[in-house]
Amino acid sequence: MDLKFKEIKNILVRSTNWVGDALLTTPALGSLKDNFPQARITVLAAKWVAPVFAEHPAVDEVLVFEREGRHRGLRGLLRLAGELRRRRFDLAVLFQNAIQAALIARLAGIPLRLGYNTDGRGFLLSLPIRLGPEDKKVHETEYYLRILSRAGLKTAKTRPVFHLSPDVQARASERLAAHGLGGTFLLGLAPGAAYGPAKQWPAGRFASAADMILAGKNGTVLLFGSQNEALVTAEVGRNLKTRCLDLAGRTDLAEAAALIKGCGLFLTNDSGLMHVAAAVGAPLVAVFGSTDPKTTAPAAERFRLIRHPAPCAPCLRPTCNQESHLCMESVTAEEVAEAALDLIEEAGHA
């Protein structure tokens, strides 16, 4: 370890703002704690990703960045910087690449500020890490680990984990019991994608695949998503022949994770909930189209990835600019259901 890190006792970690990305930083967060076992680690995170870190064993405290409340605008940022300054952090590790993250750390008077040299923020970092073209081609778990390793810290490649409290798991069990779903096979579906519709497999095919998967089973579909994804979950629900419970916008992230953990299979697009399923150990099938599985595939032990190569993919666009949306339209419900049934049998839930 470099000598400049020897006296580190109080660390601030700036989280990314997307749920999936936040989960993919957890291996780096664990490595950070391994390097500084006696240090206090505080994570600064947006409200919607804060539950990712609430029970993480490497984290001592989670501070919520109230960007639409008390930390809104320039005055709010200055208020936040003042709050952080009073905590006297020794090191800021910036997993978020935005210039704002570096500016807040600088205004907070944190002497060591570590992060990728992106977004024109190099002058605000005391420990800038070069981001090369090769770094954008690795899996995101490795992408975040490289921030630490290039600063001279030791890293370990582990899978992301979403740690859940007993209270949250009990709350999920109570919800299922209230709907008479205790002991039934649960098939989770996440047909939305916050990044944009280019990542979404058609809702009707989600429904068709689900019906095939649950044929002959005593099973129920659980539909997951945010309030913004309620329209697509409702569309899936209308097309289902199987009974379902639409939970879109009706759970917080931690409870959704606990419910997903109890699913015998989780079927999803490349989305934040895909990474949640991987992080709680649910067997999952993920349909990929516009995004690159080399960088964002689920870091899971039990999964199947369905993808048909297309000339325009991975385009990484939030919205498809082709009439056919070939990367998604070419994936059939039958092949997804077949992959799911193989995985269910492998997991011992057949």
Span between the terminal Cα atoms of the chain, in Å: 50
Q: 3 falls in which pLDDT band (50, 70, 90)?
A: very low
pLDDT of residue 319: 75
Could you tell me what percent of the chain has a pLDDT over 90?
A: 80
Q: What is the pLDDT of residue 310?
A: 67
In the DSSP assignment, the letter for residue 248 is T
Residue entry with tokens 């750390």: 105
Task: With beta carbons less than 8 A apart as the criterion, state whether 78 and 107 touch.
Answer: yes
pLDDT in tens, 17-34: 999 999 999 999 999 999
Query: What are the respective helix, strand and coil percentages of the chain, to the nearest 5?
Result: 40, 15, 45
The pLDDT tens digits of the residues spanning 210-247 come to 999 999 889 999 999 999 999 999 999 999 999 999 99
pLDDT tens column, 293-307 = 899 999 998 999 998
Do residues 270 and 193 make contact, with C-beta atoms less than 8 angstroms apart?
yes
Look at residue 349 in the predicted model and tell me its pLDDT. 61
Q: What is the b/e burial string over 129-162, where b = at least 16 CB atoms within 10 angstroms of the residue's CB?
A: bebeeeeeeebbbbbbbbbbebbebebeeeebbb
Q: For the chain, which residues make up each domain, given as ranges?
A: 3-149, 167-347
In the predicted model, is pLDDT for residue 321 greater than 80? no
Asked if 288 contacts 315 with a C-beta cutoff of 8 angstroms, the reply is no
Question: Which strand (E) or helix (H) includes residue 253?
Answer: helix 253-261
Nearest in space to 328 (alpha carbons), one of 248, 241, 270, 266: 270
> Chain-wide mean pLDDT for the chain?
92
SS3 assignment, position 320? coil
Closest CA to 349 of 175, 216, 241: 216
Would you call 110 exposed, middle or buried from its count of C-beta atoms within 10 A (0-12, 13-18, 19+)? buried
Q: State whether CATH 3.40.930.10 applies to domain 3-149.
A: no
pLDDT of residue 311: 63
pLDDT in tens, 62-71: 999 998 888 9
CA angle 160, 161, 162 (to 5 degrees): 130
| CA 187 distance to own-chain centroid | 20
Q: Pseudo-torsion of CA 146, 151, 157, 159, nearest 10°? A: -70
Pick the CATH number of 167-347 from 3.40.50.2300, 3.40.50.10890, 3.40.50.2000, 3.40.47.10: 3.40.50.2000
* pTM for this predicted structure: 0.93
